Amino acid sequence: MAGAIPRCSVRHLQRLFGSCSISAPVRSVRTSSCNRAEEIVIPNRIPRSSTDILEALASTVGRDSSGPHYKYSDDPYLTPASNVAKRSFSLSKESGRKAARWIRDKHSDLFTHRPEDPFIEAFYPKISFTDESDVSEDTLRELMQKCMVSDAIQVYQICKTKGVELSDSVRQELLEFLGYYNCEDALDEDWVEERWYRQGIMSRDRIRNTWKDHGLAEELFKSLSHQGSPAYCALIRGMTRYYQVDRAWQMYQETLEKGIPLDTETYNSLIRVASLMREGSDLRWKLVKEILTAMSEAGVRPNLGTLNSTLESLSQIASWRQTKNLSLQVMAEFNRLGIQASLASYYFLLIIHCRERGPISHILIDIMNHIADKEFSIQDPKDTFFFVTAMDVCRNHLHSKELAKRVDDLLHTGNNYMLIGDSYKESIYYRHYFALSCSTDTVDQFMELYNELVPHIYTPEPGVMEELLKALKVHEALEYLPQLWSDMIVFDHTSREKLLMSVLSAMTCHQPSEDNTKLTEQLATIAWDLWTRVQRMEEDRRNKITWSGPMIGDLLTTLVRCGEYSKGVEVMQKISADPHIVLGSATVDSLQTLLDAAIGNDEADTGVMVVVYAVDAGHQEAADMAKKLGSSLTLNAEHRAKLTSVLGIDIIADLKEKEISES
Amino acid sequence: MITTTTMASATGSRCLYRTLFHRYGLLSRGQVRSQCSVPPEDGKAPEKQESAEAKANEKKAAAKKKLNDLLASLATTDRIPVERTNSLKLSQPKPRQKTKAPKTEAEVPPPPPEEQVIEPELAAATKEVAKSLGGDVEATESELLSTLKSHALDTSASEKPSANLSELFVGLKVERSQSKPVFERPRRKRYDRDDHQRMQQGTQRPDEYVRPTRVTSREYVKTDIFGGEPLKIFSCEESKAKEIVESACPVWDATHAREIQQTVVQPPSNAFVEMIQWTRQGKLWTFPIDNEIGLEEEKKIGFQEHVFLEQHLEGWCPRRGPIRHFMELVCTGLSKNPYLTVERKKAHIMWYKNYFEEKHDILKEIGAIEA
């Protein structure tokens, strides 16, 4: 992956060197030797931006899946593997930056030494405003440029108290700005990690009316001397963005009455929330159509946003029978207008067509046929939802590994990877990809994928790990179990009961033979490690693992089968001394395995212990086990007394009697 | 013998409920009784029970869960191994140790008639308790019975008159949650409103997920994504002809573009990307390296103004002599200095001018200036 220069980098380099393509000088040199008439044409200088060289260089560096991400410290000890570690490492790095910035802004008087020329603004404390500050329209514009919402509000208030006259144009700009942010501070653009980890949480509860009624934005709207089209547009956009739907609709009616024209984006925002204004699918669609017709009548040109908003409101009535057909009609309509669909449009199509309980739709295949090998840039906020949803459809709807591979290829085309969205979507994307591969591929194919992505690109969640372990058990590919176990330790999965259960039950499938002695040893080590880990957990731990009957049975079976008989006995001693550590009791099969091993090792003590435990556990087979023990080994008086006391009859005597009577 | 056992068991169960009530304050007596359908001691059973059942129906779900939780908490306490003295009966299996798999009647033999330690009335009561607990009724019942049996044995032996509660319950397996089938529901992760609602409604779904029978086969059916019948709301010609201002809110659009761009920003993936980021923030010298970066003021001033400084001597400096010689050297020095701005260089020269004017008399005296 890292060796070959990616295609995009060649393109970059070509752009960088312009017409002086790499092959051109070679050819001219050759021809000049035989024909001197041909001249070397020196190309004109092509102006470059300051980042072009860096971009060309950066595009030669691919993602190295064998090492940690660049953002982590270059120190093996500090390489995170589990999801929690990844998250906390990157966020703590950023929080260090935040702390530094806080100090700088809090004590701005200490940072006055400015030796450098030119002046670097990013290194200096931000200007704070007080009531005495000298402010003007330009200050406001600058603050809007820098996206500082609360400062802009403060400066506006200062202007008001000091009586600084603000023109209508700056008021309009401020109205748009505050309407967009709903008078709340936006996340600073420097906090990349926070945004990367936050979006998943943010996107969940968004459909709520959070618009600040009668806030500063509305005050600005009223303060305008002439409330024209831009003012109405800005306010309606703001209200719909924060789901103040009723009042936005009122404003829209006002514009209709007063004959104020609206622009495309404002119509789009109304379409987007249209389904919140009506109940019932057909009424909702009717409203959307109404707005679209109004747009057409007003001679407003639709754009990509119109397409996506229409599809979005259709996706909210996706259970309606006509929706699928309508969505295709909408696509056709906008295609006719020459508007290119973005990934968000395809995302909405997927939602509409691939319903959880609906009939299977193969629309993803058609979409992939259409967009394969294309490069995308972000055009719509929902563009980032496409890849994760497409992978979801591949896994849950179509169960197609080939299609998943195509989606993955598209994701790794050009700069498309940036459209994965955020950490949350990325991990869901890989979760689906993994689970699909796990259920459709052979184990070897799957482990190839696993080795490529884990742990630096993706850390499997416990659920995925469980599925993986089950797959290993089904395919009897236990040779991968040691690797998975060490990964589980690193990922901090060893305190999850379900996973331990899966590991133990997978290990019981192992049949030791001459060929796999190494694996046998490893499995025994794993079993013993698992036991000691669980035993080491503190009693007051919140989710301490309690041994269950099948688990302890599997553990005993594995230990005995893999040649760690003495350790098996140790476990047996522990559980017969403290039966309360096991919920239920060890399975009969495991006890019989242990008994056989005890007989094989000529250890009557252990045998008796096993039989006593079996009796206490209420296993029906206890008597048979006792008979087997009695007939295979010679027991001393103490053993016999013990057996007699638990079983109530002297088995050995019984046996002898039987022998006598038989003979 | 029989009556005492009944009494003991009845007291036992009553004491159990009292303990539940006192210790945990979770259930009122009436609730418990109606839940468990234990016949009340006084004879008003029928009508009371009916009304109690009506009540129970309302609170059934909540109370059942509470009771289950409570029993679960009891079941996890330490098990006290019960000494078995009556050895002859031990060859009988103890059903409580079976695995959690649902049991059928055949697997769990009813208590053999010869060891009738539990009175039939109590057995009936146990049955009802088991029923009201829900889940696998038979399993619960047999577990309860076997527990009661060992309890009865202990009391009849009169060694331990009243065993503690946790012992009574320890072998009892209690459903920790509503039993769910192992089917894995293909869970969709979608982020739209629809999904949000669906997730909220998810609790109301029936527990058993039945995979929907797909209407169509898995054969690929082609869908032409652009092949639908157009809506014909917009007409192409008009939209091309009429050039209307696209947006009325430029600041909004700029802000939106910036925010959208930020949603796809990822932590820098290598040092070059990080340098790009720094360049954009103005923290780094731009490539290709240019020494004059950021010297905008200086760019307005030509090269000659830095180098040819003798013009500033015109008008005050003598044409020849030591002062002229000295000032020419000063000009040469200044013209070679890259660190000073032209303003500073001029100021330098002007300083000498003032200096020599101050010392005009002395200079004249010693003949450095021609008269």
Residues comprising chain A, all counted: 663
Q: What is the pLDDT of residues B242-276, one digit of tens each?
A: 555 567 888 999 999 999 988 888 889 899 999 99
pLDDT value, residue B237: 60
| Interface contact flag, A362 B225, Cβ < 8 Å | no
Distance (Å) from the alpha carbon of A568 to chain B's nearest alpha carbon:
22
d(CA A411, CA A426): 11
Residues of chain B with pLDDT under 50: 1-48, 77-95, 97-116, 154-163, 166-168, 170-171, 173-216, 241
The better pLDDT of the pair A330, B186 is held by A330
d(CA A182, CA A241): 9
| Interface contact flag, A349 B225, Cβ < 8 Å | yes
Compare all CA atoms of chain B with the CA of A306 and give the residue at the minimum distance: B234
Phi and psi at A650, nearest 5°, equal -85, 100
Residue ranges of domains in chain A: 124-262
Distance (Å) from the alpha carbon of B143 to chain A's nearest alpha carbon:
13
pLDDT value, residue B63: 61
Compare all CA atoms of chain B with the CA of A229 and give the residue at the minimum distance: B248
For B287, the closest of A54, A186, A316 (CB atoms) is: A54
pLDDT value, residue A431: 93
The DSSP secondary structure of A281-340, one letter per residue, reads HHHHHHHHHHHHHHHHHTTPPP-HHHHHHHHHHHHTTTTSTTHHHHHHHHHHHHHHTTPP
| Interface contact flag, A328 B249, Cβ < 8 Å | no
Omega cis (within 30) before B288: yes
Pairs of residues, one from chain A and one from chain B, whose beta carbons lie less than 8 Å apart: 280
| Interface contact flag, B244 A301, Cβ < 8 Å | yes
For A363, the closest of B94, B223, B236 (CB atoms) is: B223
Q: Is the pLDDT assigned to residue A47 strictly greater than 80?
A: yes
Helix %, strand %, coil % of chain A (to 5): 65, 0, 35
Please, are residues A394 and A400 in contact by the beta-carbon 8 Å criterion? yes
| Interface contact flag, B223 A118, Cβ < 8 Å | no
Best of A50, A233, A329, A436 to substitute, by most chain B Cβ atoms within 10 angstroms, is A50
Best of A170, A221, A328, A464 to substitute, by most chain B Cβ atoms within 10 angstroms, is A328
| Interface contact flag, B220 A579, Cβ < 8 Å | no
Which residues of chain B does A429 touch, with a Cβ-Cβ cutoff of 8 Å?
none
Please, are residues A90 and A187 in contact by the beta-carbon 8 Å criterion? no
Q: What is the pLDDT of residues A548-605, one digit of tens each?
A: 888 999 999 999 988 888 999 999 998 888 888 888 888 888 999 999 998 888 888 8
Which residues of chain A does B190 touch, with a Cβ-Cβ cutoff of 8 Å?
351, 389, 392
Mean pLDDT of A608-631: 86
Which residues of chain B does A301 touch, with a Cβ-Cβ cutoff of 8 Å?
239, 242, 244, 246
Which residues of chain B does A16 touch, with a Cβ-Cβ cutoff of 8 Å?
none
Which residues of chain B does A186 touch, with a Cβ-Cβ cutoff of 8 Å?
259
CA dihedral of residues A374, A377, A380, A381 (deg, nearest 10): 120
Which residues of chain A does B244 touch, with a Cβ-Cβ cutoff of 8 Å?
263, 299-301
Compare all CA atoms of chain B with the CA of A268 and give the residue at the minimum distance: B247
Among A159-163, A374-378, A395-399, B198-202, the minimum mean pLDDT is found in: B198-202
Q: Is the pLDDT assigned to residue A619 strictly greater than 70?
A: yes
| Interface contact flag, B272 A428, Cβ < 8 Å | no
Distance (Å) from the alpha carbon of B65 to chain A's nearest alpha carbon:
21
Pairing relation of β-strands A547-548 and A582-583?
Answer: parallel
The DSSP secondary structure of A64-86, one letter per residue, reads -TTS--TTS-S-GGG---SHHHH
Mean pLDDT of A421-445: 90
| Interface contact flag, B248 A292, Cβ < 8 Å | no
Looking at chain B from residue 62 to 81, which residues have their Cβ under 8 Å from any Cβ of chain A?
76, 78-79, 81
Mean residue pLDDT of chain A comes to: 86
Rounded to 5°, angle at Cα A42 from A39 and A44: 145
The better pLDDT of the pair A140, B160 is held by A140
| Interface contact flag, A120 B283, Cβ < 8 Å | yes
Among A52-66, A221-235, A244-258, B115-129, the minimum mean pLDDT is found in: B115-129
| Interface contact flag, B249 A419, Cβ < 8 Å | no
| Interface contact flag, B266 A61, Cβ < 8 Å | no
Distance (Å) from the alpha carbon of A416 to chain B's nearest alpha carbon:
10
Entry pTM: 0.69
Which residues of chain B does A384 touch, with a Cβ-Cβ cutoff of 8 Å?
263-264
Distance (Å) from the alpha carbon of A32 to chain B's nearest alpha carbon:
32
pLDDT band at A319 (very low <50, low <70, confident <90, very high): confident
> CB pairs under 8 A, 24+ apart, for A257-261?
A260/A228, A260/A229, A260/A232, A261/A229, A261/A298, A261/A300
pLDDT band at A392 (very low <50, low <70, confident <90, very high): very high
| Interface contact flag, A648 B275, Cβ < 8 Å | no
Tokens of A86: 């990844």
Distance (Å) from the alpha carbon of A37 to chain B's nearest alpha carbon:
35
- Kindly give, in sequence order, each residue whose CB lies less than 8 Å from that of residue B334, ignoring residues fewer than 6 positions away: B309, B340, B345, B348, B349
d(CA A53, CA B286): 10
Helices assigned H by DSSP within B219-294: 236-241, 250-263, 271-280
Looking at chain B from residue 284 to 313, which residues have their Cβ under 8 Å from any Cβ of chain A?
286-288, 293-296
Q: At how many degrees (to 10) do helices A588-600 and A549-561 cross?
A: 30
Residues comprising chain B, all counted: 371
- B238 near A CB under 8 A: yes
Rounded to 5°, angle at Cα B127 from B126 and B129: 60
Q: What is the pLDDT of residues A110-139, one digit of tens each?
A: 988 887 777 888 888 888 888 888 888 888
pLDDT value, residue A22: 44
For A192, the closest of B94, B265, B281 (CB atoms) is: B265
Looking at chain B from residue 174 to 213, which residues have their Cβ under 8 Å from any Cβ of chain A?
186-194, 196, 212
The better pLDDT of the pair A199, B220 is held by B220
Please, are residues A613 and A590 in contact by the beta-carbon 8 Å criterion? no
Mean pLDDT of A347-375: 89
d(CA A217, CA A224): 11
From residue A148, alpha-carbon distances to A231, A283, B259, B286 in Å are 21, 41, 13, 26
pLDDT value, residue B139: 63
Which residues of chain B does A327 touch, with a Cβ-Cβ cutoff of 8 Å?
228
Q: What is the pLDDT of residues A268-288, one digit of tens each?
A: 999 999 888 888 888 999 999
Which residues of chain B does A389 touch, with a Cβ-Cβ cutoff of 8 Å?
190
Q: What is the pLDDT of residues A453-500, one digit of tens each?
A: 888 899 999 999 999 999 989 888 888 999 999 999 999 888 888 899
Compare all CA atoms of chain A with the CA of B220 and give the residue at the minimum distance: A362
Which residues of chain B does A265 touch, with a Cβ-Cβ cutoff of 8 Å?
247, 249, 252-253
Distance (Å) from the alpha carbon of A84 to chain B's nearest alpha carbon:
17
Best of B149, B197, B249, B269 to substitute, by most chain A Cβ atoms within 10 angstroms, is B249
- B228 near A CB under 8 A: yes
Best of A176, A181, A428 to substitute, by most chain B Cβ atoms within 10 angstroms, is A176
Nearest to B221 by CA among A321, A325, A401, A361: A361
Residue given tokens 């009697």 in the structure block: A657
| Interface contact flag, A70 B268, Cβ < 8 Å | yes
Best of A356, A401, A651 to substitute, by most chain B Cβ atoms within 10 angstroms, is A356
- B268 near A CB under 8 A: yes
| Interface contact flag, B225 A363, Cβ < 8 Å | yes
